[in-house]
Amino acid sequence: MAVQPPVALPNRAELLEEYDIITEDDTEEIKEALEGGRMADATSKIMENLQALENARLDIAVTGECGSGKSSFVNAIRGLGDTDDGAAPTGVVETTVKPIPYQFNKYPNVTIWDLPGIGTPNFQPNTYLKQVNFSCYDFFIIIASERFKFNHARLAQEIQMQGKRFYFVRSKVDMDVQAARTRRQHTDEEGVLQQIRKNCQECLEAENVASSHIFLLSNWDFSKYDFMLLEETLEQELPSHKRHAFLLALPNISLEILRKKEETLRKQIWKLAIASCGAAAMPIPGLSMACDVAILVKSLSEYRKNFGLDDESLENLAKKVDKPVEEIKEVITSPLAKEITKDAVVKMLSQGTVTKTGGGTLMVILNCSKVSIFGSLVAGGIAFGTTYYMLCSSLNEIAKIAQDVLIKALESHV
C-alpha cells in the first residue's frame, strides 16, 4: 500500500454522528470501563455492538397486483436480471402463490419477500396481511404498473392501522415515457413524469389515502427516476442498524451509493480501533507497533465485498454491461482489491506510515446524548492509531477503486 499522509482522528462532532447505533446504557458502560482502565470490558461492549450490527436482520415485503412487476423489482433491487441464476420467476400471469424469500447476494440477513398478488380470488385486502404473515416484515413496498386502485389503498390502510410503514412504487415508468415519445415526438420527459406522479396521487386520494411516498421507477434501470429518492427515504426512516444492513446490501449501481457505503463504513472505524486496543495485539516484524491483524483482515475483506471488488461481483458487472471482465479490471492496480490475507495485511502495515500519538497515549472522545467521555488509553494508544489509520486509508483507497471500476464499466454502456 502506498505511503499516505496521516489520517486525522475523529473529532467530537464526527463521533457524535457515529454513535447513534450504540444505546445510552452501552455508552455509560464503555465510559466507566475506559475511565476505570478496564479496556477488556470496553472492548467487550464494543464487540457486542459490532456483532449486533453485523447480525441485524431486514425483511422487505413487495406486493401489488398480478403483472405489476413485483418479481422484476425483487430481482432488480438485488442486482439481478430476470434470467439470472437465483432470480425470482416473472411472467404475465401470477407466478407467486405464497411469500417467497430472496436473500441479497453475500448478505444473508437481508431478505426481500415476493408476496402473492393482491386482488386475486385467494388474496383479498381484508385477509391478505394475515395470509402473508404480516408481522415478519419491517416495511412494505406496494407496486402498481398503471394506476393505484382500491386494492392498493385498502392494503395501505390495513398496514398503517397495524403500525408499519409502506411505500408506493409506480413501476414500468420507462415504458410510459417511451410510449409518450412515440405518440408525440420531442415529448418532455419531466412533463410525462409529473403527469404520472399527479395521476398516482389523485388515484390514492380518491380512495382516501394521502401519501407523499410515491416513487417512479424502472425495473430495468434503477439509476433512472426515483430509486435514489426511495433509498434516501428508507435511509432516513429505518432504524440505524437496519439502515446499515440495507445500504451495504444494495447493488453498486451509482457513484452516490458507493459514496454512502463509504460513509456508513467509516462510522464504524473508531469502534474497530478501540477493539484493537483490547484484543491480543500482534507485533509487526521490524516495526515498534502492534495491532489486532485479525480485525484488519476481516474488515478489509468486508470492504472488498461491500464495494463489489471480488471476482464474482466483477464478472457479474462485466456481464451486465457486456464488456470483458479483463477490461474492467484494467483500472485495478491496488493489492487491496485482491484477496485479503494475514500476510498481505502485515506487508501493507510494514510498507505504510502509521499515525503516532504523543507519548503513546491516545485520548479517545466518545459522545452520546451530549455526554463527553475521556478515556486515556496509554497501553492501547499505538494499536488504536495503527488500526484507525490503516482502516481509514484503506477504505479511501477501496472506495476510489470501486468508483473507477463503475466509471470504466459504464464508459460505453448505453
Domain residue ranges in the chain: 12-54+256-410, 57-252
- Return the pLDDT at 67: 78
- Return the pLDDT at 26: 64
57, 86, 45: which is closest to 275 by C-alpha?
A: 45
Q: Which residue has the higher pLDDT, 149 or 326?
A: 326
Q: What is the pTM of this model?
A: 0.77
Q: Strand 362-368 and strand 371-377: pairing?
A: antiparallel
What is the average per-residue pLDDT within 40-45? 71
Work out the angle between the directed axes of helices 227-237 and 240-249 (0-180°, nearest 10). Answer: 150
Q: Confidence class of residue 10 from pLDDT cuts 50, 70 and 90?
A: very low
Angle, vertex CA 108, rays to CA 218 and CA 131, nearest 5: 70
**Residue where the block lists cell 438485488:** 78
Instruction: Name the helix (H) or strand (E) containing 364.
Output: strand 362-368
* pLDDT winner (highest mean) among 40-54, 140-154, 245-259: 245-259
Contact present, 170 and 214 (Cβ < 8 Å)? yes
CATH of 57-252, one of 3.40.50.150, 3.40.50.300, 3.90.79.10, 3.10.20.30: 3.40.50.300
Contact present, 197 and 173 (Cβ < 8 Å)? no
Q: Strand 58-64 and strand 107-114: pairing?
A: parallel
Enter the C-alpha cell of residue 26: 452501552
Rounded CA gap, 382 and 384, in Å? 5
Q: Which 8-state DSSP code applies to residue 117?
A: P
* pLDDT winner (highest mean) among 72-86, 104-118, 239-253, 393-407: 393-407
Q: Is 295 helix (H, G, I), strand (E, B) or coil?
A: helix
Q: Which residue has the higher pLDDT, 307 or 349?
A: 307
- Return the pLDDT at 407: 92
Q: Confidence class of residue 39 from pLDDT cuts 50, 70 and 90?
A: low
What is the average per-residue pLDDT within 297-311? 92
162, 143, 1, 2: which is closest to 66 by C-alpha?
A: 143
106, 410, 78: which is closest to 219 by C-alpha?
A: 78
Q: Is 209 helix (H, G, I), strand (E, B) or coil?
A: coil
Contact present, 203 and 144 (Cβ < 8 Å)? no
Partners of 364 in the β-ladder = 375
Amino acid (1-letter code) at residue 265? L
Work out the angle between the directed axes of helices 240-249 and 39-55 (0-180°, nearest 10). Answer: 60
- The answer for residues whose C-beta is within 8 angstroms of residue 400's C-beta and 6 or more apart is none
Give the Cβ contact number of residue 154 at 10 Å: 19
256, 234, 251, 252: which is closest to 243 by C-alpha?
A: 234
Q: Is 107 helix (H, G, I), strand (E, B) or coil?
A: strand
Q: How confident is the model over 320-379, as pLDDT tens digits?
A: 888 899 999 989 988 888 888 888 887 777 765 444 333 233 333 333 323 333 343 434
Q: How confident is the model over 177-197, as pLDDT tens digits?
A: 777 777 765 567 778 888 888
